[in-house]
Each structure stands twice: as C-alpha cells, then as structure tokens.
C-alpha cells in the first residue's frame, strides 16, 4: 500500500479505504472472520454478538488475512480504535519532545506540560487537536 493514507483525518475514510470495504474480497474475509469467531466479540471477557471487523494493523491492507482482523461488538470496536488513536498520539508527542528538548526531556518537563506543548505545536501547524 505504501504511503497511501487510509484516513483523510481521524473521522473520514479515504476513497481507497471506502472502496476496499465495499469489495468482494473484504466481504468474504469479513464473513470468514465472523464465522471463525462464532459471531462472538473477541474482546477479552465479552460475550456480545460480533457486529464489526477490526483491523489489528494495516500492513496487509487490501490483502488481509483473517489473522490481521478480529470480530468485535460495536462498543469494543470503538474502544480498540480509541486505544489506537491514543497510542499514535503518545508516540507523536514523545517523538516531538525528543526532537525539540532532547531525549532526557522527561527529567525536566511534566506530562501535562509535554501535552500542552505538543498540542500548541499541532495547533500552530493547523492540525486539529483531538
């Protein structure tokens, strides 16, 4: 897939992603993921009916295997996506702080100050802050 963006922002699917979700390949894979999960949410401890298929990652986007996905109920799909966004934000914040303040910034800056600085930098760049 290369550098093609799957999302135009955190809420809007790109045309490529939308097209893939409408493909026969995805439809068949999705059905297989549901069958293998016995139509049950695969989130630990959940017994709800699975209604959505979640990409564990996008390395094989367009040629996913069942092991690249999991069947989830809506509540736990939202939870997994939120966790993914939070991890990406934390990684971005840490990378920014390392570049601007050096890798020892944690010795001099609180978590709250680091988030404020990172969000301010994003806003200056015109990036919508979550």
19 shares its domain with 62: yes
Residue holding tokens 């709800």? 48
Say if 67 falls within a structural domain. Answer: yes
Closest C-alpha to 75, from 83, 87, 67: 83
How many structural domains is the chain composed of?
Answer: 2
34: domain range? 15-72
56 shares its domain with 92: no
Identify which has the larger pLDDT, 100 or 3: 100
pTM listed for this prediction: 0.71
Instruction: State the average pLDDT over residues 16-37.
Output: 94
Distance CA 32, CA 27 (A): 9
In tens, the pLDDT along 60-112 reads 999 999 999 999 999 999 999 888 888 888 998 999 999 999 999 999 999 99
């Amino acid at each position: 897939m290369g550098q093609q963006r799957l999302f135009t922002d955190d809420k809007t699917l790109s045309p490529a992603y939308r097209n893939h979700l409408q493909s026969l390949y995805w439809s068949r894979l999705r059905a297989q993921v549901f069958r293998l999960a016995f139509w049950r949410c695969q989130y630990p401890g959940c017994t709800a009916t699975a209604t959505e298929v979640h990409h564990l990652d996008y390395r094989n986007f367009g040629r996913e295997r069942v092991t690249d996905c999991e069947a989830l109920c809506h509540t736990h799909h939202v939870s997994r996506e939120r966790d993914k966004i939070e991890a990406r934000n934390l990684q971005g914040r840490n990378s920014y702080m390392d570049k601007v303040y050096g890798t020892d910034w944690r010795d001099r800056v609180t978590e709250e100050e680091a988030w404020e600085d990172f969000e301010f930098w994003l806003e200056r760049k015109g990036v919508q802050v979550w």
